[in-house]
Amino acid sequence: TLPMGVVNPDSIPLTTSINATVNAAVPAATYTLTIRALTGGSITTGSSGNYAAGTVIAITAKPASRYSFNKWSSTGGGTFANANKATTTYTMPANPATITASFAYQGSSGGGGGSSGTPAGTLVTYTGKTFTQNGVTLTFPTGAVENDIRVQVKEANLSAGMTLPDGSKLLSRIMDIIKDKSGDFLKPVTITLSFNKDGFNPDEYDIAIYYYEDAGKWIALENIKLNLEAGTISGDTTHFTKFTVIATPKAKVEKPLVPEPVVNVPGDISGHWAKDSIMKLMEAGIVSGYPDGTFQPNIAVTRAEFIVMLVKALNLETRVGKTFADTASHWAKDSISMAVAHGLVSGYDAEHFGSDNLITREQAAVIVSLAAKLKAVTGELNFTDSQAISLWAKPGVA
């Protein structure tokens, strides 16, 4: 329609434009809700999903045979109309939440002398648990199992075909750990076993918890932690089977019979990338070759050999430090004692230094950083394998 007073006698098409601003409605924020049922029932009304804060969700939990509804519980807040009723409503909070229906076991039903009671085994739920059964301690972190399970620990025998590794020793009972549901754990579970520490020499053997696999092999667990004084050892697993503690012989390392300097240049360092450094250390009397005239630049170094080189290189002031039970008659006992007195090194425990154990790169890095009195650095390491460096060694490596 033309404005008042304006005519268009020839009916010429007219074009006009209009600018307008439209404000779109901002969608309400939503949060994840997980609805779950523990052993003994199921969810029949209500579903997991994303809901806006304040949304009222109808929920119903149905108990299975021989179970009764117990209550609703929530992690993350929110409110129930009545947490003690199987059918109720839940009001969503302004954050993610999980609501859980739990049930109570009522035992066997029916006449004629039917028995009642709790299913066999220790109950483990989503929230985790630590317990000891038949001398075995199991630690389940939160989220290791999605649904409730029951766990039993029984002693087993070393049956035919369960061959131990060559030269190894069995230091504990074989324990068969079972659960009432199949499948691996969602997070590692820690197993702690006691062992016969009187039959274990840490200088001669490595020790670990092993599990028996169906293929007929014993496999060592990961994340082994040893408490030699208490006679306990722990490791992580994602499944249950038979477990035991096994000590395996350490690989023997050839070492010089007498750590004396070799005057002549060893022929086996010719062309070696470290030849110049080796020669300087030999001339300074810090390192020496082997009695057969070789230097063997590519073999591993023991903890004792490394400490002897370090003490000579630093020309440390003579001090008398601790003598360990396993260093009392060792050829390097004086150097080890002096290094301990200067605070450069310590033992595995009060009685064991592990003189003939191979020194690791992280151990060497920590000792050198202490000897050089370097300032500790706590920044991130950029090595591709930095996750493999022990927590205690990271400041020294950095």
Mind listing the pLDDT tens digit of every residue in the chain (398 residues)? 556 666 666 666 666 666 666 666 667 899 999 999 887 788 999 999 999 999 999 999 998 876 788 899 999 899 999 999 999 999 999 999 999 988 876 644 443 444 445 567 899 999 999 999 999 999 999 999 988 999 999 999 887 778 888 888 899 999 999 998 888 999 999 999 999 888 788 888 999 999 998 777 899 998 999 998 899 999 999 999 999 999 999 877 666 665 554 456 787 888 888 888 888 888 878 788 888 888 888 888 888 888 888 888 888 788 877 788 888 888 888 888 888 888 888 888 888 888 888 888 888 777 888 777 777 666 677 777 767 666 766 666 65
pTM metric for this prediction? 0.40
pLDDT at 317: 80
pLDDT at 109: 40
- Tokens 């601790």 correspond to 322
Phi and psi (nearest 5°) for 308?
Answer: -60, -45
- Tokens 């992690």 correspond to 75
pLDDT at 366: 79
Q: Which residues of 213-223 are buried (b: 16+ CB within 10 A; e: fewer)?
A: eeeeebeebee
Cβ pair 203, 227 in contact under 8 A: no
pLDDT at 343: 82
Which residue type is seen at 275? K
Q: Identify the CA nearest to 101 among candidates 39, 145, 49.
A: 39
SS3 category, 113: coil
SS3 category, 365: helix
Which CATH code of 2.60.220.30, 3.40.50.300, 3.40.640.10, 3.90.380.10 fits the domain covering 122-249?
2.60.220.30
Which residues, other chains included, contact 231 with Cβ-Cβ below 8 Å and sequence gap of 6+? Answer: 194, 195, 196, 197
pLDDT at 92: 94
Which residues, other chains included, contact 302 with Cβ-Cβ below 8 Å and sequence gap of 6+? Answer: 253, 255, 355, 356, 357, 358, 359
Residue 198: burial class (beta carbons within 10 Å; 0-12, 13-18, 19+): exposed
DSSP string, 241-301: SEEEEEEEEPPP----SS----SSPPGGGTT-TTHHHHHHHHHTTS----TTS---TTS--
pLDDT at 185: 93
Cβ pair 92, 51 in contact under 8 A: yes
Question: Rounded distance, CA 395 to CA 145, Å?
Answer: 36
Question: Rounded distance, CA 81 to CA 93, Å?
Answer: 14
SS3 category, 281: helix
Cβ pair 278, 228 in contact under 8 A: no
pLDDT at 395: 63
Neighbours of 379 (CB within 10 A): 8
| Degrees to nearest 5, angle at CA 144 with 141 and 145 | 130
What DSSP state is assigned to residue 164?
A: P
